[in-house]
């Protein structure tokens, strides 16, 4: 009786490992394809600009010799495939080119600006999650089974409203109230710790409201589930029923949408940075687009794109860890 099952165990374990391996390979393949598409799109972006980007950047008054020299320096006279090969080679050696406006290496510009943006995005996401998960869970517990209709109405309508207001308008409103009217926070710039408060809050408000709604809806449906009844039949204390049994199951659906919000939040930094004159990538890309500084634009687009892809990867891996069934499901 015991021996056949014992012999079967390793095989089954190998199968379990395989599920994770297959998931990893599939996910890695998708990531590589996405990265390749992103790199190629960023390359083509420069070549799809109508007219001559060098002429556009230098202005109509620039002498033709200068334009020709700059074209030669940027390798724009080579055949397209050769330019593509050089572009990929340069990327992998970390050479992102030189800013046409300031003459600084683009890699240095990115290195200077990226940390400020990452701080904002992570701070905003952290705050959004820290507000949304307890709020959504709490509202679900309070309003389950049609209880407290008033509270439910207040919560849903205010969260819809907050989620609909774009972050740069929230930012302007916050600046008006807390910097202009109350004088509690600096109006712009990145200096003291309190200069972080308004930008991060501005970024977090919308996603927090949207996420809290989702957490509540998901938790409500999970609270109906049979396994919650089982947990209650085990007479677990309420906090364990909600935190251990309801929350992880509500989160699996939440994380998918939370991931979308996070990548939206990465993009939202562009607007918020411009409101607060935040020295990050967001203000850099706008200035560079306006100044037609294409090497910088290209590099910032790449960084933002990679950021989004990394977020999506993190979401999928977290999902797989939280709900092992998702590794088997076809993505």
Partner 1 sequence: MRSRWGSVLRTPVGVSAAALLAAVLLLAVLAPLVWSAEADAIDTGSILRGSSAEHSMGTDNLGRDIFARVMVATRLSVVLALVATSIGVLAGLVLGTAPLVLGARAGRIVTAAVNIAVAFPGLLLALFFAVIFGVGATGALLAIGFAIAPGFARLTQTLVARVAGLDFVAAARLAGVGRARLIVRHILPNIGEPLMVNATIAAGNTLLAFAGLSFLGLGVQPPAYDWGRLLGDGLGGIYIHPAAALAPGVAVVVAGLAFNLFGEAMAKGIGRQTAAVPVRRWRRPAATPVQRVPGPDAVLAVEGLRVSFPGPVTPVRGVGFTVRRGEAVGIVGESGSGKTLTALAIARLIEEPGEVSADRLQFLGKDLRIGSGPALRRLLGTSLAMVFQDPTTSFNPTRRMGRQLAEVAEVHQGLGRRPALARAVDRLRAVRIPAAERRARQFPHEFSGGMRQRAMIGMGLMGTPALIVADEPTTALDVTVQKQVLRLLERIRADDSVAILLISHDIAVVREVCDRVLVMYAGRIVEELPAADMHRLARHPYTRALLAAVPDMTTDRDRPLAAIPGRPADPTRLPVGCAFAPRCPLADEQCVREDPPLVADVLGHRVACWHADLVVGEPR
Q: Which of residues 204-223 bind partner 1 (CB under 8 A)?
A: none
Q: Does 150 bind partner 1 (CB under 8 A)?
A: no
Give whichever of 16 and 69 is closer to partner 1, judged by the CB atom. Answer: 16
Q: Does 32 bind partner 1 (CB under 8 A)?
A: no
Q: Which of 205, 270, 281, 320 binds partner 1 (CB under 8 A)?
A: 270
Q: Does 60 bind partner 1 (CB under 8 A)?
A: no
Q: Which of 3, 6, 65, 93 binds partner 1 (CB under 8 A)?
A: 6
Binding region for partner 1 (CB under 8 A) out of 84-92, 107-115, 142-150, 210-218:
142-150
Residues facing 98 on adjacent strands: 105
Q: Does 305 bind partner 1 (CB under 8 A)?
A: yes
At its nearest, how many Å lie between partner 1 and the CB of residue 52? 13
At its nearest, how many Å lie between partner 1 and the CB of residue 195? 16
Query: Nearest-5° angle of CA 114, CA 115, CA 120?
Result: 100
- The interface with partner 1 within residues 155-174 (CB under 8 A) comprises 160-161, 164-166, 168-169, 172-173
Give me the long-range contacts of 31-38 (CB less than 8 A, separation at least 24).
31/309, 31/313, 34/309, 35/306, 35/309, 38/302, 38/305, 38/306, 38/309
Alpha-carbon separation of residue 285 from 126, 210, 269, 275, 288 (angstroms): 24, 27, 11, 14, 5
Q: Does 33 bind partner 1 (CB under 8 A)?
A: yes
Rg (CA), the chain: 25
At its nearest, how many Å lie between partner 1 and the CB of residue 49? 6
Q: Which of 108, 192, 221, 230 binds partner 1 (CB under 8 A)?
A: 230
Secondary structure (DSSP) of 59-78 = -TTS-HHHHHHHHHHHTTTS
Backbone angles phi, psi at 49, to 5 degrees: -60, 125
Encoded tokens for 295: 């090497």
Give whichever of 3 and 93 is closer to partner 1, judged by the CB atom. Answer: 3
Encoded tokens for 124: 């905003």
Give whichever of 91 and 289 is closer to partner 1, judged by the CB atom. Answer: 289
Give whichever of 102 and 179 is closer to partner 1, judged by the CB atom. Answer: 179
Q: Does 9 bind partner 1 (CB under 8 A)?
A: yes
Residue with tokens 């517990």: 141
Give whichever of 69 and 158 is closer to partner 1, judged by the CB atom. Answer: 158
Backbone angles phi, psi at 264, to 5 degrees: -65, -35
Encoded tokens for 255: 């994380």
231 in Cβ contact with 217 (< 8 Å): no
At its nearest, how many Å lie between partner 1 and the CB of residue 62? 18
Q: Does 290 bind partner 1 (CB under 8 A)?
A: yes
């Amino acid at each position: 009786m015991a021996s056949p099952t014992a012999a079967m165990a390793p095989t089954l374990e190998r199968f379990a490992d395989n599920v994770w391996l297959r998931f990893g390979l599939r996910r890695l393949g998708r990531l590589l394809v996405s990265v390749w598409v992103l790199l190629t799109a960023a390359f083509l972006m420069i070549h799809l600009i109508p007219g001559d980007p060098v002429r556009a950047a230098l202005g109509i008054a620039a002498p033709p010799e200068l334009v020709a020299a700059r074209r030669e320096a940027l390798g724009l006279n080579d055949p397209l495939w050769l330019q593509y090969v050089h572009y990929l080679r340069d990327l992998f050696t970390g050479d992102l080119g030189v800013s046409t406006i300031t003459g600084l290496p683009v890699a240095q510009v990115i290195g200077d600006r990226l940390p400020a943006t990452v701080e904002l995005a992570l701070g905003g996401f952290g705050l959004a999650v820290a507000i949304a998960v307890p709020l959504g869970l709490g509202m679900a517990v309070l309003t389950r089974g049609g209880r407290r209709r008033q509270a439910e109405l207040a919560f849903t309508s205010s969260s819809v409203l907050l989620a609909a207001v774009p972050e740069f308008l929230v930012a302007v409103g916050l600046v008006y109230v807390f910097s202009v009217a109350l004088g509690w926070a600096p109006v712009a710039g990145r200096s003291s710790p309190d200069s972080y408060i308004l930008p991060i809050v501005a970024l977090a408000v919308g996603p927090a409201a949207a996420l809290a709604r989702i957490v509540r809806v998901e938790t409500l449906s999970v609270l109906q589930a049979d396994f919650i009844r089982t947990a209650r039949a085990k007479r677990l204390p309420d906090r364990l029923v909600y935190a251990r049994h309801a929350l992880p199951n509500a989160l699996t659906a939440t994380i998918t949408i939370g991931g979308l919000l996070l990548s939206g939040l990465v993009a939202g930094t562009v607007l918020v940075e411009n409101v607060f004159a935040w020295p990050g990538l967001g203000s850099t890309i706008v200035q560079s687009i306006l100044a037609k500084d294409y090497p910088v634009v290209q590099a910032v687009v790449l960084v933002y794109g990679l950021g989004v892809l990394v977020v999506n990867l993190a979401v999928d891996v977290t999902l797989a860890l939280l709900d092992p069934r998702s590794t088997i499901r076809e993505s």
